[in-house]
Amino acid sequence: MKFSQEQMERYSRHIILNEVGVKGQIKLLESKVLIIGTGGLGAPAAMYLAAAGVGTIGLVDADTVELSNLQRQIIHSTKDVGKPKVISGKETINDMNPDVKVMTYHEWVSSANITDIIKDQDYDFIIDGTDNFPAKFLINDACVLLHKPFSHAGIIRFSGQTMTYVPGQGPCYRCVFLNPPAPDLVPSCKEAGVLGVMGGIMGTIQASEAIKYLLGIGDLLTGRLLVFEALDMEFRTVKLASRTNCVVCGENPTLKDLIDYEQRACEL
């Protein structure tokens, strides 16, 4: 492909980088990333991936924009309150970068639809920007079964964590966390506050991992969990090992069908 004058300018700071260059930028323009959840994590991830020129971005979310989202979900604006988040997200991306094709999936992921959504555009990389354990385990299992890399992240209060799964290159989310915690151990949405910037910090790390994976550069958070504590302003990484008896990615996997775990109604 040939760059237009406008693309040459838009992506100049990427093209100058030896690790990106013309070839890398073309790779990004030809890449497809699926973002599940367009909230605290998904909003900044989607915006940076769109700005970077990732050619196809899929947004999955059944929610509509609420005023209480705007403290952290920066892809949505005050005028978007009441609008489906995927539509509001698509409009923001379209305004920012006309090179990006946005696919919208106005639904919650479940065992019934996640495989079809990932296969819809044969996405190259998936970002888990969800806020609940059932969805996180579902995304992990679906990605492992479909041999797709993905970035996990979670935020609560002043803390965040993130890791990257690449098939055959380290543990999956289930190797580390086994099963969702009991629903009554998980703080409900009323109990759980979060500092608005946490989504920005962790979501942009997820976008960085996606871009590095797509370009094939650097070291990913495979086999490592990055933990961030905003109050101490400290990042640390914890080494993680694969579990040979993991039910989904181990040597003799027994999990072949996706599971819909239960969760409290108010988390939906």
Partner 1 sequence: MHNRDGFVDITDVVCPITFVKAKIAMEEMESGKILEVKMNDGEPIQNVPRSFKDEGHKVIQVVKNEDGTYSVFIEKDGL
The two counts, helices (H) then strands (E), for the chain are 9, 8
Cβ nearer to partner 1, comparing 23 with 147: 23
Of 2-10, 43-51, 101-109, 230-238, which segment contacts partner 1 by CB under 8 A?
Answer: 2-10
Q: One symbol per residue from 210 to 249: x for binding partner 1 (CB under 8 A), - otherwise; what is it?
A: ----------------------------------------
Q: Which residue has the tokens 């190797």?
A: 175
Phi, psi values for residue 215, rounded to 5°: -85, -15
Instruction: State the nearest-atom distance from the C-beta of 2 to partner 1, in Å.
Output: 9
List the beta strands (DSSP E) in the chain. Answer: 32-36, 56-60, 101-105, 125-128, 150-156, 159-165, 224-229, 234-239
Report how many residues bind partner 1 under the rule CB under 8 A.
11
Q: Are 76 and 43 in contact (CB under 8 A)?
A: yes
CA distance 205 to 128: 12
Instruction: State the nearest-atom distance from the C-beta of 22 to partner 1, in Å.
Output: 4
Of 1-9, 68-76, 136-144, 157-165, which segment contacts partner 1 by CB under 8 A?
Answer: 1-9
E strand or H helix that includes residue 35:
strand 32-36
Q: Which two tokens stand for residue 35?
A: 């973002």
Asked if 190 is part of the footprint of partner 1 (rule: CB under 8 A), the reply reads no
Q: Which two tokens stand for residue 160?
A: 């965040």
Query: Which amino acid does the sequence have at 139?
Result: I
Instruction: State the nearest-atom distance from the C-beta of 12 to partner 1, in Å.
Output: 4
Cβ nearer to partner 1, comparing 25 with 130: 25
Instruction: State the nearest-atom distance from the C-beta of 235 to partner 1, in Å.
Output: 31
Sheet with strand 32-36: strands edge to edge: 101-105, 56-60, 32-36, 125-128, 150-156, 159-165, 224-229, 234-239
Cβ nearer to partner 1, comparing 26 with 166: 26
Instruction: State the nearest-atom distance from the C-beta of 23 to partner 1, in Å.
Output: 7
CA distance 180 to 139: 13
Q: One symbol per residue from 4 to 33: x for binding partner 1 (CB under 8 A), - otherwise; what is it?
A: ----xx--xx-xx-x--xxx----------
Asked if 3 is part of the footprint of partner 1 (rule: CB under 8 A), the reply reads yes
Q: Are strands 56-60 and 101-105 parallel, antiparallel or unpaired?
A: parallel
Cβ nearer to partner 1, comparing 5 with 78: 5
Query: Restricting to residues 105-144, which ones interact with partner 1 according to CB under 8 A?
Result: none
Binding site for partner 1 (CB under 8 A): 3, 8-9, 12-13, 15-16, 18, 21-23
